Amino acid sequence: MAGAGLWWSAGAAPAAPEVLRLGAADAATPVASSGADKLEKFKGAEPKPMPPLSFVDAEGRRVDLADFKDRVILLNLWATWCGPCVKEMPSLDRLQAQLGGDAFQVVALSLDRGGRTAVEPFYKKTGVQNLTVFLDPGSESMKALSLRGLPTTVLVDPEGRELGRVEGAVEWDSPEVVAFLRQFLGRSGQGGGPARDRGGVMKTGG
């Protein structure tokens, strides 16, 4: 698989890959590399209940993860000070442009304490246009999801259950990863399409 990262099923207990540890001072911490074969054990994962998760959009309006029910969600926990997060953000933006729609959405949830003032300039500088600004400046999701480091990405099924997670940067729009994600869209009987607003949430870049 292009990029780096290690998928594991919701019920598995893998060895810890190298990621940017929360609270670490060095944002250049390397991430683990893996091949497409690492995705095989993830395919048969048993869904795991997700804890209630709330955050806000760029306008300060509350958003619940449950609001995205009936979509496959790629929930990415990140921050602008996290080197690996910054590296993978453009590919997440391209993935949303390619697959985003009624069946799929990338939810990039920033843990930056600066909230909107940190994220919007970063999106503008890096040319991110397809990701909605979602903010968790209090890092409540860190505890709720028992994060070990950043970036951490959780795949959530249309019923709001965790299918698995990956730690480390990934080239999310690589052919291997897109094909892998399309399998889950097929299970819901829907396909990806143009990204659309949900609940009046603004998208950056237009």
Q: Is the pLDDT higher at 171 or at 17?
A: 171
Distance of alpha carbon 71 from alpha carbon 68, whole angstroms? 6
Q: Can you say how many angstroms the Cα of residue 120 is from the centroid of all Cα atoms in its chain?
A: 17
In the 3-class helix/strand/coil scheme, how is the chain assigned residue by residue?
Answer: CCEECEEEECCCCCCCCCCEECCCCCCCCCCCECCHHHHHHHCCCCCEECCCCEEEECCCCEEEHHHHCCCEEEEEEECCCCHHHHHHHHHHHHHHHHHCCCCEEEEEEECCCCCHHHHHHHHHHHCCCCCECEECCCCHHHHHCCCCEECEEEEECCCCEEEEEEECCECCCCHHHHHHHHHHHHHCCCCCCCCCCCCCCCECCC
Number of neighbours of residue 22 by Cβ within 10 angstroms = 16
pLDDT above 70 (res 6): no
Q: Is the pLDDT higher at 187 or at 192?
A: 187
pLDDT interval class at 190 (50, 70, 90): very low
The helix-helix angle for 83-99 and 175-187 (nearest 10°) equals 50
For the segment 133-171, what is each residue's pLDDT rounded down to a tens digit? 999 999 999 999 999 999 999 999 999 999 988 988 999
State both tokens at 197. 């607003």
**């909230």: which residue's tokens?**
115
Q: How confident is the prediction for the chain on average, in pLDDT?
A: 78
Its pTM stands at 0.77
Give pLDDT, residue 46. 81
Give pLDDT, residue 110. 98
pLDDT above 50 (res 100): yes
Give pLDDT, residue 11. 44
Side chain identity at residue 50, one-letter code: M
